[in-house]
Amino acid sequence: MKVLLVYDSLFGNTEKVAKTIAGELSKVATVRLERAASLPRLVMNDYDLLVLGGPTHRQNASEAVQKLLQASAQGALHGLSVATFDTCYEMPRWIRMVSGGTAADKIMRGLRKLGALSATRPKSFLIEHNNEGPLLAGQLEEAERWAASLAKTYTPKPVGQRSQRMKRAL
């Protein structure tokens, strides 16, 4: 499996999360880790999965991530599986809902417009109520768990555990 993991980070918190996710996915996949600002646009190449994340800025993705999405051609990611994450303040869910959500939701919306398919629900990792962070205790472990569950979706199961339909197809 080939994974492209793209992230943005102003103060380094999202970078820590991105590197943790990359480390976990590397156990089952070849992972290319890139900063959003270093890519001119998103293309499929032969990736099986794109993971895109960044800090939440004004209930949206950061400028570098927005630019990357805008520079990518309509339909450029047709059929590609994608997962999105962000870092954001901890706040009660209802306040989050009324205040407009977080970057991961907006990034997922942008990726779907490019034709991508959601592999899992957008995920937020929490920082202290302070722009610079740090991440709340346990968030890197949470990132490991999230990445492990994402990896499981893509790791081929041993033959004995495959569905009857899949076995018939082999």
Ligand X SMILES: Cc1cc2nc3c(=O)[nH]c(=O)nc-3n(C[C@H](O)[C@H](O)[C@H](O)COP(=O)(O)O)c2cc1C
CB of 78 to ligand X, least distance (A): 30
Pick between residue 47 and residue 85 the one whose CB is nearest to ligand X. 85
| Rounded-to-integer distance, Cα 109 and Cα 92, Å | 22
CB atoms within 10 A of CB 152: 10
Using CB under 6 A, list all residues that contact ligand X: 9-15, 55-59, 87-89, 127, 131, 133
CB of 27 to ligand X, least distance (A): 24
- H or E stretch at 81: strand 81-89
Pick between residue 37 and residue 117 the one whose CB is nearest to ligand X. 37
Overall size of the chain counted in residues = 170
CB of 88 to ligand X, least distance (A): 3
CB of 79 to ligand X, least distance (A): 30
- Cβ neighbours of residue 66 under 8 Å, at least 6 residues apart? 60, 110
Pick between residue 130 and residue 164 the one whose CB is nearest to ligand X. 130
* Token digits of residue 25: 């996915």
CB of 100 to ligand X, least distance (A): 8
Pick between residue 10 and residue 76 the one whose CB is nearest to ligand X. 10
- Sign of dihedral through CA atoms 123, 24, 164, 119? positive
DSSP letters, 12-59, are: SHHHHHHHHHHHHHTTTSEEEEEEGGG-SS---TT-SEEEEEEEEETT
Pick between residue 134 and residue 156 the one whose CB is nearest to ligand X. 134
